[in-house]
C-alpha cells in the first residue's frame, strides 16, 4: 500500500481522497437528516434505506451537469467527453455540478418516497440542512485536487497551487483565494441557519418552506463565489452558474411568496382550516 497526494494505492486499486471526502459528506448529511427525522416523528431508517436512492441519481445528475457545462479553462469540453466516454465516470477529473446533484437526488428521493408511501415534501425539508452540511464537507475534496480556487491573492490565508494545477495565463502565480474554504464555511453557515429556522419558526412555516430557503441560500453563495472564480463557463458578463443560481433563487422566492399569501388568505376566510402544519413534519 502507498499513499500519494490524491489517494491511496492498494495493489491495483486506487482510492481517491476526493471520493472518500464526498462519501464523508454524504454520510454526515444522512446522519443529520436521520436525527431530524427521529425528532419529528419519522422513521430514521428510511434515511439509510433510501440513501442510495438519493446518492446514485444525485451523482449521475451532478456528472451530467458538469459534462454539459465544463469549465473552458480546464481544457475539458462536452465534445471531449463524447469522444472519451470512459472519462465520464472519472468524477475526480473535472468534478461534479451541485445543481445536477440536487435535481438527481430529488428525483431519487421522490421515487423512494412514492414506493414507501412517504410524504415527499416532508423529506425534502428534513434533508435540507443535511444537504448543506454534505456540501460543506464535500468541498474539501476540491482542496485535495487543488481545484476550485479563486483569483490570485497574497492574503495570509492564501493557498499554494502546484504549477501543473494552475490555469492557463496564471502559470507564474503561486497563491490564490481558497474558494473551496469560503464556500465550505458559507454552506456550514447555511446548514446552521436552516436548523435555526426549522426550530424557531416551525409553527409559522408551511411544508416545503425549509427546502425553499435552502434553494435561496445556496444560489446566493454560488453567485458571490463565482465573482472570484477563474474557471467558470460564461454567459455574457456573468457565469453560467450565476445565471442558473439566479433562476433557482427567483423560482424559490416566488414560490415562497405565493405560498405565504395563500396562508394569509386561508386565515382570513371565516371557517377556513388554519394552516398549522409544521414545516418539518406535515400531516402524513
Q: Domain spans of the chain? A: 2-268
Per-residue pLDDT, 225 = 93
Is 85's pLDDT higher than 90?
Answer: no
Dist. CA 120–CA 15, nearest whole Å: 34
Kindly state the cell numbers that stand for 194.
436552516
CA–CA distance, 109 with 80 (Å, rounded to integer): 32
Taking only the tens place, the pLDDT of each residue in 24-72 is 999 999 999 999 999 989 999 999 999 999 999 999 998 898 888 877 6
**Model confidence pTM above 0.75:** yes
- Minimal CA–CA distance to 179: which of 148, 207, 223, 154? 148
Q: What are the pLDDT digits (tens) for 105-158?
A: 999 999 999 999 999 999 999 999 999 999 999 999 889 888 889 999 999 999
Stated length of the chain = 284
| Structural contact between residues 106 and 124, judged by C-beta atoms closer than 8 angstroms | yes
pLDDT over 80 at 236, yes or no:
no
* 181-194 average pLDDT score: 96
Residue 278: the pLDDT is 46
DSSP code of 278?
A: -
Amino acid at each position: 500500500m502507498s499513499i500519494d497526494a490524491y489517494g491511496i494505492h492498494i495493489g491495483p486499486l486506487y482510492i481517491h481522497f476526493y471520493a472518500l471526502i464526498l462519501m464523508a459528506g454524504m454520510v454526515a448529511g444522512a446522519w443529520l437528516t436521520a436525527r431530524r427525522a427521529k425528532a419529528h416523528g419519522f422513521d430514521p431508517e428510511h434515511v439509510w434505506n433510501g440513501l442510495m436512492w438519493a446518492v446514485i441519481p444525485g451523482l449521475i445528475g451532478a456528472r451530467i451537469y458538469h459534462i454539459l457545462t465544463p469549465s473552458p479553462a480546464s481544457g475539458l469540453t462536452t465534445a471531449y467527453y463524447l469522444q472519451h466516454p470512459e472519462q465520464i465516470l472519472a468524477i475526480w477529473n473535472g468534478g461534479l455540478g451541485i445543481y445536477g446533484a440536487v435535481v438527481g437526488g430529488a428525483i431519487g428521493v421522490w421515487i423512494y418516497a412514492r414506493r414507501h408511501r412517504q410524504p415527499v415534501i416532508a423529506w425534502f425539508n428534513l434533508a435540507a440542512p443535511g444537504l448543506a452540511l454534505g456540501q460543506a464537507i464535500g468541498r474539501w475534496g476540491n482542496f485535495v485536487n487543488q481545484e476550485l480556487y479563486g483569483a490570485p491573492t497574497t492574503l495570509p490565508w492564501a493557498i499554494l497551487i502546484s504549477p501543473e494545477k494552475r490555469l492557463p495565463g496564471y502559470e507564474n502565480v503561486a497563491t490564490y483565494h481558497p474558494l473551496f474554504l469560503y464556500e465550505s464555511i458559507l454552506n456550514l453557515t447555511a446548514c446552521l441557519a436552516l436548523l435555526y429556522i426549522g426550530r424557531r419558526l416551525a409553527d409559522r412555516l408551511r411544508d416545503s418552506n425549509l427546502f425553499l430557503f435552502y434553494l435561496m441560500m445556496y444560489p446566493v453563495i454560488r453567485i458571490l463565489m463565482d465573482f472570484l472564480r477563474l474557471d467558470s463557463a460564461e454567459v455574457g458578463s456573468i457565469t453560467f452558474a450565476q445565471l442558473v443560481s439566479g433562476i433557482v433563487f427567483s423560482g424559490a422566492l416566488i414560490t415562497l411568496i405565493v405560498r405565504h399569501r395563500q396562508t394569509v388568505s386561508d386565515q382570513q376566510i371565516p371557517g377556513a382550516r388554519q394552516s398549522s402544519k409544521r414545516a418539518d413534519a406535515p400531516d402524513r
